[in-house]
């Protein structure tokens, strides 16, 4: 079930956005919906870790696909379900288009879409703008 998809343009090149994305320990500095996050090892396919939403319990995180400076797909595991996050970088002229898509899957999707989905939809544009502004200044 698609929860939301949002895109923005930034003057920051993909390499600068990628530095923020691949430094999981600092996700909370540009995503005010997180208290913290970390992974064991490198930012590569198969790495796992955790994230702690500001309004929820710590959950497991796994990197499903990683293409440096282009794309990564991570999942957050929930009871009887998961949330898939797709993060894409694309050059559009002199700018970078950042796209994030959030999907929920599993038996309890209808419950979690009401509990979590609304907050994710509402926060995503602001989170992406903060990320872009920080990357532009870096």
Domain boundaries, the chain: 2-137
pLDDT tens for each residue of 38-65: 999 999 999 999 999 998 889 999 999 9
State pLDDT tens for residues 81-123. Answer: 899 999 999 999 999 999 999 999 988 777 787 777 787 888 8
Q: What is the mean pLDDT of the chain?
A: 93
Domain 2-137, architecture per CATH = 2-Layer Sandwich (3.30)
**pTM for this predicted structure:** 0.93
Got the DSSP string for 50-89?
Answer: EEEETTS--EEEEEEEEETTTEEEEEEEETTEEEEEEEEE
- Whether 48 and 64 have beta carbons less than 8 Å apart is answered as no
């Amino acid at each position: 079930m698609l929860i939301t998809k949002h895109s923005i343009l930034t003057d920051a090149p993909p390499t600068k956005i990628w530095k923020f994305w691949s430094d999981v320990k600092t996700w909370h500095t540009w995503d005010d919906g997180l208290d913290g996050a970390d992974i064991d090892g490198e930012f590569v396919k198969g790495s796992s870790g955790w994230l702690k939403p500001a309004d929820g319990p710590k959950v497991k995180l796994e990197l499903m696909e990683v293409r440096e400076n282009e794309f990564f797909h991570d999942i957050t595991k929930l009871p009887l379900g998961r949330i898939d996050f797709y993060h894409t970088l694309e050059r559009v002229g002199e700018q970078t288009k950042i796209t994030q898509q959030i999907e929920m899957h599993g038996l309890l999707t209808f419950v979690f879409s009401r509990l979590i989905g609304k907050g994710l939809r509402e926060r995503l544009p602001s989170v992406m703008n903060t990320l872009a502004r920080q990357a532009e200044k870096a």
